[in-house]
Amino acid sequence: MGSFGRFLLKRSLQGVVVILGVISVLFVLRYVTPGSPVDFIAPLDASDATRRRIAESLGLNQPLYVQYGDYIVSLLQGEMGYSYRSRTAVAPRVFAKLPATLELAVAATVVAVILSIPLGVISATRRHTGPDYAATVFSFLGISTPNFWLGVMLVILFAVQFGAFPTSGRPVGLLDALGHLVVIAGPERGWALPLNVGSFVAAMQNWLLHVTLPAITLGTYFTALITRLTRSGMLDELGRGYVQAARAKGLPTTLVRYRHALRNTLIPVITVVGLQLGTLIGGAVITEAVFDWPGLGSLIIDAINNRDWPLIQGSLVVIGAGFVVVNVVVDALYVRLNPRVLE
């Protein structure tokens, strides 16, 4: 096994330990937090007997370690138990919410990357010019603006005043919209695209209209952050010996800039963005609240407000595990791009 393989294995094992830690911490939390889920299910004036019966039917009368053991076993089988409140299975419910959150996060990242890297490069290569100042001011505002406030302002301006965008909601998911394409051109109808792609276009348009404001809301901080990082990284690289040398050798400036300097700049950018993924998911939670975007965020807030522990655990385990996996991938990517760190 190569050193990279060993690194990956070690890192993955650590990840598993962390995920187990996440689950355990959630169980401890459940034990130490005040308030019983029964209070949130039983009617205001329910009798003690009713409350006791509800507790029993939820399995809350079992000792905690039994509940913990049961939970681990069911997780290994891909199950997360049943919601206290609605009695429906938690796992499908959490995974049904995942696409909404992911597409919001992806849309925001796309917005951020498309805007920020050119902005950062322009800013660095035209230092102390109008565009540089504009980009600097923008990135400063971007990292200092709370995204939920930005969202509220965008709604007031573009949805309420101008009516250019819908105010909230996600009537169509991205996968559903793309699904139209698959139905139009599927194995049964032949793979050639027929001319009538109207339903796909309409669904896509609907999705885009609804995702625009949330994506800007969530993406602004990252656009600003990456612009800043790209700018400072580029400035560092452009000042280095090899760039000067390459220039002296007569290599075209653009080639030097984009082939070498930008590539080296992007390595720390990737790491920082990886580190900030938590902020992205956290930001998604609050963006969802602003736009009634039906993702994991609203699910978690609801579950917490109702002490619906299976749902709290399920959604937090998914977020935690997803985050750990992404971190392992980012680390691996970093090591791949930068093999020196292993030595």
Partner 1 sequence: MSRDVDRREFLTLAGTAAGAATLAGCSGGNETATETSGGSTPMDTGTPEEELPEPETREEHLQRTNRLVHDDAPWIFLNRQYSVYGKSADVEWEARRDERIDGYAIEPTGSKSSVMITQSKMDTGLDPHDHRETTTDNIVTQAYEGLLERDREGKVVNQLATGYERLEAGQVQFELRSGVSFHSGDSLTKEDVAFSINRIVDPEAGDLESSQSDQLAGVTGAEPADGDSAVIVNSDGINPVVFALFATYCDIVNKSWIESNDAAYINSNMEGTGPFMLDTYEQDVRVVFESYDDYYMDAAPADQLTIQSAGEPSTRVNQLLNDETDIIVNVPPQNISQIQSADNASISAVPSTRIIYNAMIYNREPFDSVEFRQAMNYAIDLESMVSNVLGSFGDQTGQPTLEGFTGYNPDLDPYPYDPDEAERLVEASGYAGAEIELHTPSGRYLKDLEISQAVVSYLDELENVSASVKQRDFGKLVDELLDGELETSPAFYLIGWGNAAFDASQTIIPLLTSDGALTSYRNDRVDELMDQAQSMGGES
Partner 2 sequence: MIRRLLDAVTGRLSPRTVQNLRSEFDTSPLTKVGVGILVVVLVTAVFAPLLAPWNPEAQNLDRSQQPPLGFTRAENQTTQETVDGEVQLIQETVQVNATVAHPLGTDGLGRDMLSRVVYGARTSLVVGVLGTLLAMLVGVPVGLVAGYYKGRVDDALMRVADVSLAFPSLVLAIALVGLFGQAAVEVPDPLVTTGLAAAIRGVTSLPGGLAYPTGMPATFTLPGTVILVVGIVNWVWFARVARGEALGVRDEEYVKAARSLGGPDRFIIRRHVFPNSITPVLVLATIQIAAIVLLESALSFLGFSGTTLSWGFDIAQGRQYQTTSWWIAAMPGLAIVLTVIGINLVGDWLRDALDPGIEGEGGGV
* Cβ–Cβ under 8 Å, residues 191 and 181: no
The encoded tokens of residue 296 equal: 């994991």
Bridge partners for 202 per DSSP: none
CB 181, min distance to partner 1, A:
21
Amino acid at 152: V
Amino acid at 76: L
Bridge partners for 89 per DSSP: 82
Query: Which entry of partner 1, partner 2, none binds 249, CB below 5 to 8 A by partner kind?
Result: none
Contact between 188 and partner 1 by CB under 8 A: the answer reads no
Contact between 205 and partner 1 by CB under 8 A: the answer reads no
CB 195, min distance to partner 2, A:
42
Contact between 180 and partner 1 by CB under 8 A: the answer reads no
| SS3 (DSSP) at 77 | coil
How many helices (H) does the chain have, and how many strands (E)? Answer: 15, 0
Write the DSSP string, 105-126.
HHHHHHHHHHHHHHHHHHHHHT
The binding track of 80-109 with respect to partner 1, each residue x by CB under 8 A or -, is --xx-xxxxx---x--xx------------
Contact positions vs partner 2 (CB under 8 A): 14, 17-19, 21-22, 25, 29, 33-35, 140-141, 143-149, 152-153, 155-156, 160, 221, 225, 229, 268, 271-272, 275-276, 278-283, 285-286, 289, 297, 300-301, 304-305, 307, 312, 316, 319-321, 323-324, 327
Query: Which DSSP state fits 342?
Result: G
Alpha carbon distance 21, 25 (integer Å): 6
The encoded tokens of residue 160 equal: 């309420």
Residue number, 207 or 221, with CB nearest to partner 2:
221
Single out the residue of 18, 22, 46, 270 in contact with partner 1 (rule: CB under 8 A).
Answer: 46
Amino acid at 326: V
Residue number, 170 or 257, with CB nearest to partner 1:
170
Query: Which entry of partner 2, partner 1, none binds 299, CB below 5 to 8 A by partner kind?
Result: partner 1
| Residue 321: C-alpha distances to residues 286, 329, 336 (Å) | 20, 12, 22
Which residues would be at the binding site for partner 1 (CB under 8 A)?
Answer: 34-36, 39-47, 50, 53-54, 56-57, 82-83, 85-89, 93, 96-97, 155, 159-160, 163, 166-170, 292, 294, 298-299, 302, 305-307
